[in-house]
Amino acid sequence: MRGPAARTRSDIRFVRLDRAMVRCRQLGDGRSLVFATDPPVPLECYDALFDALAPRFRVTVFEMPGFGASLPRAGMRLSMRDAIGLVARFLEQLGSGPHSLVMPCVLGLVGLGLARQHPRLIGQLVLSQTADWAGTQRWLAKRDPNGVLRRPVLGQLALAALRRKRIDAWYRTAVADAAMVQPLVKATLENFDHGGCFCLASGFQDCLSNHQNQLAPVPHDTLLIWGDADPSHRGTGFAATQALAPNAELVCVEGAGHFPELERPEAFVGHLGRFLANGRSG
């Protein structure tokens, strides 16, 4: 909190929760628009979204507790239940709700659970590259084919030893534009150098082992947005997520990989802006 991770952007701040410290940036005025970064991407990679959206919204970007420089405190777990609770408390601390919430990939399931359990906190919901529970389990099996990361203790030790190498491999697997790989790797490794964490093994073992009946259809207007060139999600049917968000519209960002908000920000912002204005992306 006093080192480089607190100073890479002038507007970085930390929000104290009971079991985590959440690092975030906030710019602009107006309706609250909140983005979770897609681990292990640090919030420094979201400058283009701030530039595009801060003139119209109060934009907050945060790193999920347990990832980046949002550090866990004693007693924090990464279960689905606790992840939902942590994000709910963060949004309550931000104030100015209800919030339009943008949650990527697996965190989209956390967003759905949050909308179900704390409906007044959420105005509209945007899920980026989020599969349903069954699709997420298939994606997980591809990411950890030998089940190493899903083994308690062994998974944490293996990731601690290999995380720097795994970052490069992950971005090469996930990003459609090869020219973006090295900038993302560089930003992520710098985040690690500044004390950032990557509790992926704990997330795999806890949050994705059992959703504990936290997920059910939500009534909120929802935008499901996906990149059609995501190598890590070949064969994923994102339309299945509409079973959890019946008032959802599914839109495609052509040529984007796993991070459409970063890989094709103009197209992403276009869909997002129309959706926030009309309840649909148009």
Q: Which domain holds residue 14?
A: 4-278
- Residues 127, 103: contact at Cβ < 8 Å? yes
Entry pTM:
0.94
Which CATH number does the domain housing residue 199 bear? 3.40.50.1820
- Domain total in the chain: 1
| Each residue's pLDDT tens digit, 125-167 | 999 999 999 999 999 999 899 999 999 999 999 999 989 989 9
Give the residue carrying structure tokens 């105005």: 123
Of the pLDDT bands very low, low, confident and very high (cuts 50, 70, 90), residue 21 is: very high
Q: What is the mean pLDDT of residues 212-229?
A: 94
Q: What is the pLDDT at residue 212?
A: 77
| Each residue's pLDDT tens digit, 169-192 | 999 999 999 999 999 999 999 999
Of the pLDDT bands very low, low, confident and very high (cuts 50, 70, 90), residue 279 is: low
Q: What is the pLDDT at residue 2?
A: 80
